[in-house]
Structures are given as structure tokens and as C-alpha cells.
Structure 1
Amino acid sequence: HETITKENGVRLVAFGRYAGIVGAYNGIRTYGLKFDRYELPKAETLADQQALIDELNKITLPALKIVLTGMGRVSNGAKEILDAMGITEVSVSEYLNNTYNEPVYVQLDVLDYNKRKDGKIIDMYDFFKNPSEYLSDFMRFAKVSDLYIACHFYDDAAPYLFTKDDAKHPDFKIKVVADISCDIDGPVASTLRASTIDNPNYGYDPQTEREADFKDQNAIAVMAVDNLPCELPKDASDGFGENFSKYVIPAFFNGDKDGILDRALTTRNGQLTSGFKYLQDYVDGNE
């Protein structure tokens, strides 16, 4: 289904929204467990998104600062949860400079947490085209945040959001990371491995750079489940089916006027189609 896209490459059917919904819930659940403030049931035991929201609205959060990276389906799914809890969204400037007596969150785009090495300010398309020309500027958020919900897309040429050395810095304040993106040993230093639905949490000790008990005072609590939509199967299946019915099924009956099926076709007459020529070396046995 990942090859079923719009002309600009954006997927038409995907589970990302539900990963964001469950990931945000799990992140808030992890915070409560780490600091023994409250206990939430596992998402997999609840019927649907509304049931998750109902449980979240039974708890009272302290004056947390929550940083959310990404502007796509995953991040917007996480945002749905934060908004449903009535958590106030603030601007980057407000988040960095103000103190609050209530929980708040900020949603960051790529240029909020990356900056060009030469100091120029261009646009996000320059970042996507030239990620190696950028440095991470995430540390300014790490110094004032309690909970980090990672929903960004990461390119191998892009800078890490925070490194192992960053996590050692005395000003590094984040104590809970819900890494929905779940890139192992990569842009989020605390993500040593994927976790599971059965055991969603582990700790990362910045000083030893090793796994620890997530409740340990010095540990960053990590939630890095990599199949989050499975915890919300009914909603995820309904959402996938709705988009498939809306965008894909009509293409079988309208002559594929928008090219949806053609773009998704991997082979034709025994040959790779133009969009999949990058696989030719595998077909030829060279890789």
C-alpha cells in the first residue's frame, strides 16, 4: 500500500495517523508510570480512540512542556490526542521563553529544529534537498522540555536531533521520549531498540549510554513500539478502508484517470516500471 500515492508522492492510504494517536497516548502513559503520578490502561485494552481520550481526561497532568516533531500524518495524529486533552498549543517563541502553570505543547517543523551550517535561512525544501548542509538546533527545546513525542521523517543524510553527548549535557531536561518514528540507534539517541506492545517501556542512561530501568532517576524513559496501529485495530482498519474505498477502488472503474494504479504498479510485462528502476540491481543479482 505504500506505493499507492498522489502524483507528488504523498501516500493515499496509510496507518500513520493511528501510530500518532497511540504513540501520544503511550507517551503520556509512560510519564505517569515513570513518576508514579497516575496509571493508564494499555491502549490495546481499549475499544477505540474515544476510549483513549476518555481515559486521558480522567488524569491531571502537571505543568509539562511537550515537544512534538513533525507535520505529517503521524504528528497530526499525536496532536489530535493532545488537543482532545485540552493541552494548550503555543508558538516556538512562547515555548522557549515562557513558564506556564499548565501543560503546553509545541509542534515543530523541520526548520524549527534544524539550521543551515552557513547560517542562511532558506526554506524547508532546501532542507529536504540538502539535509547534509544542516545542523540540529533541537537542543534549545531539549533544555526546556519534559516529554518529547517524535513523529518526524528522518533522512540518513540529515543531522541527528539529539546525540548521546547531547543527552549527557547537564541542561538536557527531557525525561520521557515517545519515539513513534523509531529509528534505531539514530537521530534520537535514547532509542536503542524497538520496544513491544507487551513491554513498551525501557530506560536509557545517558551517562553509561546503556539500557536501564525506565523508572531510574537518571534514566530517560523510552517508548519505542514500532507497530503502534496494532493497538487500535478497529480504528486503524476503518480508516485504512475508508481511504482505500475513496481513492483506490474508483481507479479500477474510471480508467485510472489520476494514474494511481499505474504509479503503484511495480512490474509490467516482466520488467520494472519507471518508478521502480532503482530495484534493477537486485533483479540482476548485483545486490
Structure 2
Amino acid sequence: MTKIGIIKEGKVPIDRRVPLTPQQAKQVADDFGVEVVVQSSDIRCFPDDDYRNVGLDIVESIDDCDIILGVKEVPIEKLIPGKTHFFFSHTIKKQDYNRDLLRAILDKKIRLIDWETLTNESGNRIIAFGRWAGIVGAYNGLWTFGKRYNLFSLRRANECFDYEDLKNEFNKIQLPNIKIALTGGGRVTKGAMEVLIGAGIRQVTPHDFLNERFDEPVFTQLNSRDYNRRKDGEEFHRNEFYSNPEMYEGDFLKYAKVTDILIACAFWDPAAPVLFHREDVLKDDFDIRIIADITCDIEGSIPSTKKPSTIDDPIYDYNPSDDVVEQAMSDEGNITVMAVDNLPCELPRDASESFGNELVNNVIPHLLGNDEEQVIHRATITSSGTLTENYQYLQDYVDGN
């Protein structure tokens, strides 16, 4: 019988999320005829007793499991040789800080399947925490505005029991006639829009956002075509933009002239245009004062995102004159940045339940079945000590080149 183990998260700072809630873990065991055990943990949002109460064994070691399920990167010393590991490895973009992790996975002949690489036949991701990153990121952006201008005081998201509890804070949000720009169109953006609409902020078109004055706070949602343009002046084509981004240049500054809060949710390819440059921030007509950078691409499309922030210390100031990070809200000329890189951790129970539902419905049937659609095959990064065919491009990264 296949044995699946839910690992105790070992990354620091701690992550309280789980890949499967107690009820979902029990469902997997019953519906698929496998054994599911749970490594004892004093940090996860669902305590050991919650799993024990649905009939699952709590164990100290999961070394005898065939498949190990986790959320964040597993510390190298806790990787179990020869097993199948699922977690967000943060290696597929050749992230320097995880090169040694991927090397260790290869050395230990681990079969690594990254949650981020699980896709359907159309190439769309089938499991993610994106909606919850958007929800918490947008909420944090509003929290930051209230804090910077002493307008209202909200509980932090991680101080709320769950999303329903967090919604009780919405009626405290009293905004002046500001404009909020939201980039992107995927799960993260939709999550952010839930919060803005829930807080009573009206959505307007990009055209009206640019050209009209309002007597209430408003937001607009910007897709790639709204803030990128062909260098040759020809018509924007979405598929072309994603396949040949070098043919395009940024056209975001017209929005920066009328925006008070930027909530950045759009995936950014390093080959694509940036939203703006540091020099643009120094211009008199650049109005953005608060940026909630949910994408958190360091030194990426947004020059003020110089480093990630943390749940405990969620904001910092960006001084564009000197291009440096300063203490949050230390100068009115600065931009206040929220760039927490693990936003779903602030609502771990909701985020885990949503993620677990996708795992049960979209991944487990392929993992424990015959994988006819090659979902698991496509997502497997390493196997038996080598990179799989789809991930051979990582070899120079592994080699240190």
C-alpha cells in the first residue's frame, strides 16, 4: 500500500500552512486506498489532534513513506533520499539561493515534483495559493494606507482567525477619493479584487481611471495591453507579447500620474518591459505613494522592491533620491512598500483548505492513477539523480555556471 506523509514544515520563518487539512487527508486515504500519516508539528494551523481525531496516525518520522507532501522548501538535512517529494522548490527560475537545495535533491536521488510545475494540457497551473496572496496583499495595501496617513486602524490579516473574520475589518476602511491601480488578470488579481470590492471600492475602466475625477475611491484592473505597447506602434497582440516581449515597451507612466496605491499582481518575465524606472519616480508627476507588490520580484519590474518584507515587519520605505531602503513612513517623499513574499501564510487555514481541494481534485488522481494526461510526468523536475527532459535547462544552474 502506498504510504503518504505530510511533513512538518522546516523552513524559517515558519510556515503554518498544510497541503491537506485533516478532513482532506482522511478523504485521500479513504477514496484512494492509501495510508496517510502526519508528522507531528507544533506550528501548523491544524494541530496534531485535529488529524488524530479523524483517525490518522501522528508520527515522529516519515522516513518510511513513499510520497512526502509539504508546502515550502524542505531543509537539506530533512530531505529523505529516494522518495517522492512535493513542495515549492523555487528552483525553476534558477534562484541562486536554492542551488544547493537542487544539488542535494539530485545527490539524494529524490523525485522532485514542484507544485508550481503542475499544469493541465493547456499549460495552465492546476494548484496554487494565488487567490490568497491576492486577498492578503490587497488587504495589506489598504492597511498600509490607513497606517501611513493615520486614517483608520485595521487588525493585521494574521491576527484574524480566517477570511470571514477578516471581512469584519472592511467596514473600518474609510478612504478619501483615491485611485488604486491593480495589474494582472489571474488568480492573484481576482483575489485582490475580492477585497477591494468587499471594502466598497468601485471599479472603473482604465480609460475613466485616467481621464475622470471621482468623488469616491475607485480602482481599475490593468491587463498587459493597458500598460505595454509595440515599439513599432502596431497593434498589441497578447500571445505575441508573451512569446516575444522584447518587441514591446512599457506604457505604465500615464497611470502612475493619477494613481495613489499600486497593487502589483501581474506575473513578470525578465525579458518584458518593467513598469517604471527609478528615474520616473523622481519626476514631479509621479503620484504613487504606496505599493503593495504581491509579485515581490526583487529588483524586477518595480524598482522600489529592493527586498522582501516579512509578516512581522511588512512594510518599508523606498527613498528614490538615494535608491535605498529606509524605515517605514520616515519621509513623505518616500514610497511605502509592502512586499511580503509569503502572503497566504497570514490566512493559513483558508489558504490550506483551498489548496488541499485542488490537490485532491486535480493532482492526487493523476499521482495515484496511471497519469494518462502526463500531469505528474510534466511536473517532475528530478528523478533517480538526474534532471528530467523538461528541466535539462537547469543543468548549468546546478553546475554553478
Which position in structure 2 is the counterpart of 1:167? 281
The answer as to 2:239 corresponding to 1:131 is no
Q: Distance in 2 between matches of 1:160 and 1:266?
A: 29
Asked if structure 2 preserves the Cα contact closer than 8 Å seen for 1:136 and 1:162, the reply is yes
The verdict on how the C-alpha distance between 1:177 and 1:268 changes in structure 2, with shifts beyond 3 A counting, is closer
Q: How far 1:261 moved relative to its partner?
A: 1.6
Match of 1:148 among 262, 283, 296: 262
Instruction: List per-residue Cα deviations over 1:52-88 (Å, max 9, x = no partner).
Output: 2210222211111000001111111111111111211
Match of 1:37 among 151, 172, 176: 151
Q: How far 1:151 moved relative to its partner?
A: 0.6
Q: Distance in 1 between matches of 2:337 and 2:187?
A: 22
Q: Compare 143-152 and 251-260 and name the one that shifted more.
A: 251-260
The answer as to 2:220 corresponding to 1:106 is yes
Asked if structure 1 preserves the Cα contact closer than 8 Å seen for 2:152 and 2:172, the reply is no
Which position in structure 1 is the counterpart of 2:366? 251
The answer as to 2:149 corresponding to 1:23 is no
| Secondary structure class of the residue paired with 1:2 | helix
Counterpart of 2:390, as a letter, is G
Q: Distance in 1 between matches of 2:335 and 2:385?
A: 51
Counterpart of 1:187, as a letter, is S
Alignment of 1:49-128 (within 5 A): 49-128=163-242
Q: Distance in 1 between matches of 2:210 and 2:326?
A: 30
Which position in structure 2 is the counterpart of 1:192? 306
The answer as to 2:297 corresponding to 1:183 is yes
The answer as to 2:383 corresponding to 1:265 is no
Q: How far 1:249 moved relative to its partner?
A: 1.4
Gaps of 5+ in 2: 1-114
Q: Distance in 2 between matches of 1:270 and 1:232?
A: 36
| Secondary structure class of the residue paired with 2:180 | strand
Q: Distance in 1 between matches of 2:333 and 2:315?
A: 15
Counterpart of 1:278, as a letter, is Y
Counterpart of 1:57, as a letter, is N
Q: Distance in 2 between matches of 1:9 and 1:109?
A: 20
Q: How far 1:280 moved relative to its partner?
A: 3.6
Which position in structure 2 is the counterpart of 1:10? 124
Q: Distance in 1 between matches of 2:303 and 2:242?
A: 22
Asked if structure 2 preserves the Cα contact closer than 8 Å seen for 1:213 and 1:219, the reply is no
Instruction: List per-residue Cα deviations over 1:176-204 (Å, max 9, x = no partner).
Output: 10001111122112111111111111111
Q: Distance in 1 between matches of 2:161 and 2:343?
A: 14
Counterpart of 2:340, as a letter, is V
- TM (normalized to structure 2)? 0.68
Asked if structure 1 preserves the Cα contact closer than 8 Å seen for 2:225 and 2:236, the reply is no
The answer as to 2:359 corresponding to 1:235 is no
| Secondary structure class of the residue paired with 1:135 | strand
Q: Distance in 1 between matches of 2:394 and 2:150?
A: 50
Gaps of 5+ in 1: none
- TM (normalized to structure 1)? 0.94
Larger Rg: 1 or 2? Answer: 2
Instruction: List per-residue Cα deviations over 1:198-250 (Å, max 9, x = no partner).
Output: 11111112222222343221111110111111111001110110000011112
Counterpart of 1:211, as a letter, is V
Q: How far 1:277 moved relative to its partner?
A: 2.2
